[in-house]
Chain A
Amino acid sequence: MRKKLLAAFAITVAATLSAAGCGGSASGSGGNSIKVVYWQHLDQNDNKQQKFLASMKTSFEKAHPGKKIEVVPVTASENDYYTKIQLMMRSPSTAPDLVYEDTALINSDIASGYLKPIDSYVKSWADWGSFAKAAKGAVSSPTDGKTYGVPDDTDTRGIWYNQNLLKKAGIATPWQPKTWQDILDTARTIKKKLPGVTPMNFYTGQAGGEQSTMQGFEMLLYGTDAADNSLYDAKNKKWIVGSQGFKDALTFVHTVYSENLGLSKPTALGPNAGAEVGTKLLPDNKLAIDIDGSWMANNWLKTGPRPWPDWAKTMASAAMPTQAGQAPGRVSMSGGWAWSIPAKAKNPDLAWQFTKAIKNKDNSTKWNIIESTTAVRTDVAADPKYLDATPTNKFFTGLVAYTHFRPALPKYPQVSNAITKAMESVTTGQSSVDQAAKTYDQDLATAVGSDSTAKGAR
């Protein structure tokens, strides 16, 4: 009897252990290998970063025998990418050793304790002095002042337009709108004169995520009277509710879509609006004006997803005007990406070695040229190789003088979501501008707490 009991017990234990056994195994990355995670856009033709990182991996592994770099793409829309890396960084068994972070999100992730301060590393890195001050500011925490990433690139935003289409519609080029009204008027003219051509693109809606907020809404909002204080008053640490500027910006969105000056609503609100604009409508000469990022040309380079040899002859750039042309007359937004080491990384030292390799001057220059982004290293920014790489680099680098940065705060992602929600509701016409602004005020109060909001100028 006893023996039987014992045997049954043994079998039970063995079965339990083997069934539960899946939990215990350690994951691969030990002392000699690291996992590098980056964002692979949904547009699979866009594989510039994949190729770049693969070449970095090859040369690094050659220079450091015995070390292994595992490059892991996360294929997702922008919002889903953030969610996925945040989930990965929560657990030591899935945390990468190096992760590509949007500087808009970095403060939120710092506050969550996901990232590791790298001050001790950068202190002994001679190249650190070459990084622009503003870029360094974007990767350091406002609360503890520590550095949490190495800036990878930055960007500015403005207007791209198709010179041929504008000429055909009888609009004088070079074209530089002075007010929002100028943009709308030009779009209306194009709509009347060139049927079949989409007059303008203005990103909107929740599926677009930060693309809608930053290339879209904030390009308007920061051009209103309150300018840098239109979204967040940094001095008093208050988020702004109920401002006229916010409503004016929503009215602009509403006008674009209610008069059908923009993309068709389902396309504009879909997750692929960005690829549709960059790789289809613009190169097909079906879109006249595009309010977008400085990097657009990377779609059309030989290495890009939609090579377009004539782009430099066809496309031109203009600055985004302020609402009524008030000083300084132009507005731009800047963001950027950075390489960060998660707090739960297993091999931070090797991750740092790899970071230094991909962010040295040669490789930084290479990367800025491939991606046609704006340089964060001052030595690269002055390099003629970089300045002459694409005809528009000079123009967009010049917009740095008018640029604004998003409030780098942990609550920003939620605020950004509330903005895209308001945009979507006026785009579809589901709510009026006043209703949408009111809903935004409520969403904002729930997100940041009503004691952290302040009434804006009416």
Chain B
Amino acid sequence: MKSAAAPAGHAGAPARGSGGHPAGSSLLRGLPLLPSLVLLAVFLAGPIVYCVYDAFTDAQLTGAAQTHFVGLANFTRAFGDPDFLNALWLTMVFVVGSAVVGQNTLGLALAVLTEKATRPVRSLTNGVVIAAWVLPEIVAGYLMYAFFYQQGALNDVLGALGLPRQNWLYTLPILAVCLANVWRGTAFSMMVYSAALGEVPRELVEAAEMDGAGVWHRLWHVTLPVIRRSIMTNLMLITLQTLSVFGLIYAMTRGGPGNKSQTLPVFMYQQAFQNSLIGYGTAIALVLLVVGALFSVVYLKLLKVEED
């Protein structure tokens, strides 16, 4: 979303101001944009360029006074590093499990159900789901830690019900953080889908109903095709959000035990700030960027196929 802001700012006034006006006037109209352009260049483009540069050096937080240009060494190191490959795999599991499957499906289900529900039920559900979304990430992380922790709330409930206790933070940490992310992020998908469902023409649904289509058929053949653009947009947004989740995982497991919940952002943090390898950490950040771009390309392609 951040990157979308830059070209939009660029393409604003000057282009529209053309069409026969003298050059001085269009310059004049563009001038007020200059401050924001300068700020974008200094605070957005600057760090990004610096970050790209760092990824090709052996910059360290401590241990060396000089940094050298090392070419692609950080990247070859990454792809030969089993911990990196593990982090890449866990990132995929996390994104697909918690965002594409979890948040997306649950968000759609909640939106469909609340549409049919009575007003008080809808307000209550919306309130509860959105509360998790409103919480700052680190607070949500702490709450989820307290929930899954061995002496935590979930085990108290399980114990009271006479069910066996869990220790997922330790035994299945990736599942625990996926569930936490579903809990926290579902509200976003739900809101997107609630808005989209409002746009589905009633007569279309009624026509299908008249033709004898059941609930599932209506959903699959009428509603979903109509809102497919919202689905793609939603998928793209939650994928990118989930790819960069750090605070939630770090608060819950610190990427551990071992490296069993170490997704790319956590791995990147540990390399950059615990092993003091700023250069290597930045290279991983770039790989994360590429992963995000790949997901976006896939979604855009899918959307295009649908259109054609």
Contact = CB atoms under 8 A, between A and B. Distances in A.
Interface stretch (A278-286, A369-377, A410-418): A410-418
Given A428-B257, A446-B77, A82 B62 contact: yes
A144 B270 CA distance: 31
B254 interface: yes
Given A206-B256, A265-B170, A430-B258, A83 B61 contact: yes
A112 B62 contact: yes
Given A8-B32, A417-B274, A16 B61 contact: no
A8 B258 CA distance: 59
A164 interface: no
A265 B31 CA distance: 62
A121 interface: no
Given A113-B65, A425-B258, A20 B60 contact: no
A426 to B, nearest CB: 10
B63 A8 contact: no
B65 A112 contact: yes
B230 interface: no
A207 B254 contact: yes
B276 A86 contact: yes
Nearest to A426: B258
B63 A410 contact: yes
Contacts of B64: 111-112, 410
B260 interface: yes
B35 interface: yes
A4 B29 CA distance: 11
Contacts of A105: 62
A5 interface: yes
Interface size class of B (residues with CB under 8 A): 20 to 34
B290 interface: no
Contact of B276 (A15, A16, A20, A413): A413
Interface in B238-288: 254, 256-260, 273-277
A439 B274 CA distance: 18
Nearest to B280: A446
B38 interface: yes
Contact of A271 (B42, B61, B65, B254): B254
B28 A4 contact: yes
Nearest to A430: B258
A434 to B, nearest CB: 15
B12 to A, nearest CB: 15
B162 interface: no
A85 B277 CA distance: 16
B35 A16 contact: yes
Contacts of B63: 108, 111-112, 410-411, 413-414
Contact of B24 (A1, A20, A79): A1
Interface size class of A (residues with CB under 8 A): 35 or more
A269 B32 CA distance: 55
A205 B28 contact: no
A47 interface: no
Given A1-B24, A414-B276, A112 B60 contact: yes
Interface in A88-138: 105, 108-109, 111-114
B195 to A, nearest CB: 34
Contact of A8 (B28, B60, B256): B28
Contacts of B256: 205-207, 269, 424
Contacts of A5: 24, 27-28
A20 B258 contact: no
Contacts of A12: 31-32, 34-35
B273 A414 contact: no
Interface in B111-165: 150
Nearest to B169: A266
B274 A83 contact: yes
A265 B77 contact: no
Interface string A3-19: 01100110110011001
B159 to A, nearest CB: 17
A294 B61 CA distance: 31
B296 interface: no
B254 A11 contact: no
Given A111-B65, A112-B64, A430-B257, A266 B170 contact: yes
Interface in A1-49: 1, 4-5, 8-9, 11-12, 15-16, 19-20
B39 interface: yes
B10 to A, nearest CB: 16
B62 A413 contact: yes
B258 A428 contact: yes
Contacts of B28: 4-5, 8
Contacts of B273: 80, 83
Given A206-B256, A417-B275, A19 B62 contact: no
Interface string B20-56: 0000100110011011001100100000000000000
Most chain A CB inside 10 Å of its own CB: which residue of B150, B167, B273: B273
Contacts of A425: 258
Contacts of B170: 265-266
Contacts of A207: 254, 256
Contacts of A82: 62
A19 B43 CA distance: 11
Interface string B53-81: 00000001111110000000000010001
A87 interface: yes
Most chain A CB inside 10 Å of its own CB: which residue of B28, B60, B62: B62
A264 B170 CA distance: 11
B128 to A, nearest CB: 29
A424 B273 CA distance: 19
A87 to B, nearest CB: 7
A112 B42 CA distance: 27
Interface string A401-434: 0000000001101100100000011011011000
B9 to A, nearest CB: 14
Contacts of A112: 60-65
Nearest to B25: A1
B78 to A, nearest CB: 11
Given A4-B28, A86-B62, A112-B64, 14 more contacts: A9-B31, A79-B274, A87-B61, A108-B63, A112-B65, A113-B65, A206-B256, A207-B254, A424-B256, A428-B258, A428-B260, A430-B259, A431-B258, A439-B82
Interface of B: 24, 27-28, 31-32, 34-35, 38-39, 42, 60-65, 77, 81-82, 150, 167, 169-170, 254, 256-260, 273-277
Interface of A: 1, 4-5, 8-9, 11-12, 15-16, 19-20, 79-80, 82-83, 86-87, 105, 108-109, 111-114, 205-207, 264-266, 269, 271, 410-411, 413-414, 417, 424-425, 427-428, 430-431, 439, 446-447
Q: Which 9 residue pairs of A and B lie closest in terms of their CB atoms, listed nearest first?
A: A410-B63, A113-B65, A430-B258, A15-B35, A16-B35, A108-B62, A108-B63, A428-B257, A83-B273
